[in-house]
Chain A
Amino acid sequence: MIEVKNIHKSFGDSHVLKGIDCYFEKGKTNLIIGQSGSGKTVFLKCLLGLFKPEQGTISYDGKIYSELTGAEQRDLRQEMGMVFQGSALFDSMTVEGNVMFPLGMFTKQSKSEMQDRVDFVLKRVNLVDAHNKFPSEISGGMQKRVAIARAIVMNPKYLFCDEPNSGLDPKTAILIDNLIHEITQEYDITTIINTHDMNSVMEIGEKIIFLKNGHKEWEGSNKEIFKTDNEAVTDFVYSSELFKKVRQMYIEERN
Chain B
Amino acid sequence: MNYLASIGSYFIMITEVFKKPTKWSIMKKLILKEIDELIYGSLGIIIFISFFIGGVVAIQTALNITSPLIPRNLIGFATRQSVILEFAPTFTSIIMAGKVGSYITSSIGTMRVTEQIDALEIMGVNSLNYLIFPKIIAMLFYPFVIAIAMYVGIFGGWVAGVFGGFSSSADFSEGLQLDFIPFHITYSFIKSIVFALLIATIPSYHGYYMRGGALEVGKASTTSFVWTSVVIIIVNYVLTQLLLG
Contact = CB atoms under 8 A, between A and B. Distances in A.
Interface of A: 48-50, 74-75, 77-78, 80, 82, 84-86, 88-91, 101-102, 104-106, 160
B122 A80 contact: yes
Contacts of B26: 104-105
Given A105-B23, A105-B26, A77 B114 contact: no
A101 B20 CA distance: 17
A91 B114 contact: yes
State the majority secondary structure of interface residues on A: mixed
Contact of A77 (B22, B23, B122): B122
B124 A88 contact: no
Contacts of A78: 123-124
5 pairs of A and B residues whose beta carbons are closest in the complex? A88-B115, A77-B124, A88-B119, A74-B124, A82-B122
A106 B115 CA distance: 20
Given A78-B123, A88-B119, A104-B23, 10 more contacts: A50-B118, A50-B122, A75-B124, A77-B124, A85-B115, A88-B114, A91-B114, A105-B23, A105-B123, A105-B125
27 contacts: A48-B122, A49-B122, A50-B118, A50-B121, A50-B122, A74-B20, A74-B124, A75-B124, A77-B121, A77-B124, A78-B124, A82-B119, A82-B122, A84-B119, A86-B115, A88-B114, A88-B116, A88-B119, A104-B23, A104-B25, A104-B26, A105-B22, A105-B23, A105-B26, A105-B123, A105-B125, A106-B124
Contacts of A89: 116
A157 to B, nearest CB: 14
Contacts, number: 47
Interface of B: 20, 22-23, 25-26, 114-116, 118-119, 121-125
B186 to A, nearest CB: 38
A231 to B, nearest CB: 34
Given A48-B122, A106-B124, A90 B116 contact: yes
Contact of B114 (A74, A80, A86, A102): A86
A50 B123 CA distance: 11
A65 B114 CA distance: 27
Contacts of A49: 122
Contacts of B122: 48-50, 77, 80, 82, 160
Contacts of A160: 122
A88 B20 contact: no
A84 B23 CA distance: 25
A49 B122 CA distance: 8
Contacts of A90: 116, 119
A84 B123 contact: no
A104 B25 CA distance: 9
Contacts of B23: 104-105
B124 A84 contact: no
Contacts of A102: 123
B9 to A, nearest CB: 17
Nearest to B23: A105
A10 B143 CA distance: 47
A84 B122 CA distance: 11
Nearest to B110: A91
A89 B116 CA distance: 6
Contacts of A80: 122
Contacts of B125: 105
A48 B20 CA distance: 19
B238 to A, nearest CB: 36
A74 B125 CA distance: 8
B106 to A, nearest CB: 13
B121 A84 contact: no
B175 to A, nearest CB: 48
Residue of B26, B114, B118, B123 with most partner-chain A CB within 10 A: B123
Nearest to B113: A86
A63 to B, nearest CB: 15
A241 B26 CA distance: 53
Nearest to B123: A102
B123 A77 contact: yes
A75 B22 CA distance: 15
